[in-house]
Structure 1
Amino acid sequence: MRARSAIQSQPKAATLPADTRVYCVGDIHGRADLLMETLGRIDDDQRRRPIRYAIEVYLGDYIDRGPDSRDVIDLLAVRLVRNRAICLRGNHEALLEAFLAGSVELETWLPVGALPTLASYGASPRSRTGSAAELRRSLADAFPRTHRLFLQCLRNSFCCGDFMFVHAGVRPDVPIDAQDPRDLLWIRDEFLGSTRHHGKFIVHGHTPVPHPDFHDNRINIDTGAWRSGTLTCIAIEGTQILVL
């Protein structure tokens, strides 16, 4: 088990309600091995530091790029039911949903790491002559009902106290309750370059960074797990953020 980092406090003193701790996990991208280790750290931390309300939040991008997308969803579906975990939608889940629905073509999904996801469901293209429609049917046939229910339970954002949890970020100068769902899943430069306070302190992923990236108005915890081997989990309590 990795040693925990020093506690870091938020400059703007964003805070959670009393007796509440939020565990938040960054982009997983098919790394079921790292997710299992992270779940162990969360469970161990709760045993050592009991608290009345413990909330688990997963920031999306569970699939693609890494080898075990199906296993990742299996693990998270259990946490969703047993622990009432909050699972957010990432842009990669949105692409999967759109592909299954027939509103996005394979050529749109492939460049962002679809092949390992398809393979994890046993739906890899067998030849260059196989059509995208056949592949879509193959994936749909192999896709478990529990995974469809999991996708239906995904949220675009979650707020607790002064914190907002979202996959990609928010559009500056737009009220939190008026955000475009597409921005919550896809935005980058306009959000990352903004120093404005957004009404909430934003916890997000989507854009890989070498280590948890603290700013006055946000923290990015996507540490590129599929490639770096580091899946970041933070524990927020009061005004403090602890990297597990």
Structure 2
Amino acid sequence: MALAPPPSVAPVRLGSVDGGLVYAIGDVHGCYDQLCGLLGRVMEDIAGRGAGRRPILIFCGDYIDRGPQSAEVLDALCWLDRRAGFELHLLKGNHEQALLDFLEMPEDGEGWLEFGGVATLASYGVAPPAADLGPQDFRRARDELLDRMPAGHLRLLQRLELIVSLGDYAFVHAGIRPGVALDRQDEDDLLWIRRDFLDAAGPHEKIIVHGHSWADARPDIGPHRIGIDTGAYQTGVLTALRLEDGGMQAIQFGAEERLS
């Protein structure tokens, strides 16, 4: 799927990735089947375009919640992390931060449960806490989750990155605070920002590739940012963006049914 800007915006600014071959992957949200299918297509693309280059895979966060197979998604990421042959970067999303907060302070976890955490608990076989049973039931759910979660999953969650810069591009989960240097961005903005970033005219210090916000099953292409969250848990479409010097192309799984 070749990318072109909507007619209402300025031409897309195509940058350099320092001669590399980069694949940025949008929000997975527990959609394990789509992840496996998309990775298969990415690997086929690498085989055809690698030309001796070591590919770089950058996941833009939100691996868990909402979809039914968060535990399996984290298993797949742990597996990828052990593979040679490519460079892997895993960014932190707001949903991963919410899970880490729940592990630290389960009594304050009701918000996480309301926006997808129940599905993550279920993927590990943990019953959600009942608010009418008080804080002790939140602690019970946290303790059961820690008992059932492989240590590798927790280690992966604890070392997620916040931002990756490569050539003319920067990769984050939600976006950046306009007007603030990339090396001075606040973590909350990188994980949570929406309208202040999405509505900003730009340009930014670099072209920003991000997830977190979506409208439909198509990437959101602007002159200074590229949104690659395509709502996999609702649309069934998971998106990767291939970047090379002066070019980009979307690779999707699930698109046949949704985008025909």
1:226 aligned residue (217, 233, 237): 233
Contact 1:80 1:87 in 2 (8 A): no
Q: Which runs of 5+ in 2 are unaligned?
A: 6-10, 252-260
Determine the structure 2 residue equivalent to 1:62.
63
Determine the structure 2 residue equivalent to 1:27.
27
Q: Does 1:201 align with 2:207?
A: yes
Deviating more after overlay: 25-34 vs 116-125: 116-125
Determine the structure 1 residue equivalent to 2:97.
94
Determine the structure 2 residue equivalent to 1:43.
43
Q: Secondary structure at the match of 1:232?
A: strand
Determine the structure 1 residue equivalent to 2:243.
236
Aligned alpha-carbon RMSD (Å): 1.7
C-alpha displacement of 1:84: 3.6
Deviating more after overlay: 113-122 vs 81-90: 81-90
Q: Does 1:143 align with 2:139?
A: no
Q: Secondary structure at the match of 2:82?
A: helix
Q: Secondary structure at the match of 2:61?
A: coil
Q: Secondary structure at the match of 2:226?
A: strand
Q: What is the distance in 2 between the residues matched to 1:118 and 1:231?
A: 22
Residue identity over aligned pairs, in percent, reads 41
Q: What is the distance in 1 between the residues matched to 2:196 and 2:184?
A: 16
Contact 1:88 1:155 in 2 (8 A): yes
Contact 2:32 2:69 in 1 (8 A): yes
Residues 86-136 of structure 1 deviation map (CA, whole Å, 9 limit, x = unaligned): 110000000001111127622121111111100111112376647111111
- 1:71-82 paired onto structure 2 within 5 Å: 71-82=72-83
- 1:123-138 paired onto structure 2 within 5 Å: 123-125=126-128, 129=133, 131-138=137-144
Determine the structure 1 residue equivalent to 2:169.
163
Q: What is the distance in 2 between the residues matched to 1:228 and 1:25?
A: 16
Q: Which amino acid aligns with 2:242?
A: A
Q: TM-score, normalised by structure 1?
A: 0.93
Residues 134-164 of structure 1 deviation map (CA, whole Å, 9 limit, x = unaligned): 1111111111111011112310111110100
Determine the structure 1 residue equivalent to 2:224.
217
Determine the structure 2 residue equivalent to 1:17.
18
Q: What is the distance in 2 between the residues matched to 1:59 and 1:132?
A: 29
Q: Which runs of 5+ in 1 are unaligned?
A: none
Q: Secondary structure at the match of 1:76?
A: helix
Contact 1:27 1:205 in 2 (8 A): yes
Q: TM-score, normalised by structure 2?
A: 0.87
Q: What is the distance in 2 between the residues matched to 1:217 and 1:62?
A: 25
Q: Give the aligned length.
A: 239
C-alpha displacement of 1:85: 1.2
Contact 1:172 1:198 in 2 (8 A): yes
Q: Which amino acid aligns with 1:141?
A: D
C-alpha displacement of 1:7: 5.0
Residues 30-57 of structure 1 deviation map (CA, whole Å, 9 limit, x = unaligned): 0000000011011111111123131001
Q: Secondary structure at the match of 1:86?
A: strand
Determine the structure 2 residue equivalent to 1:115.
118
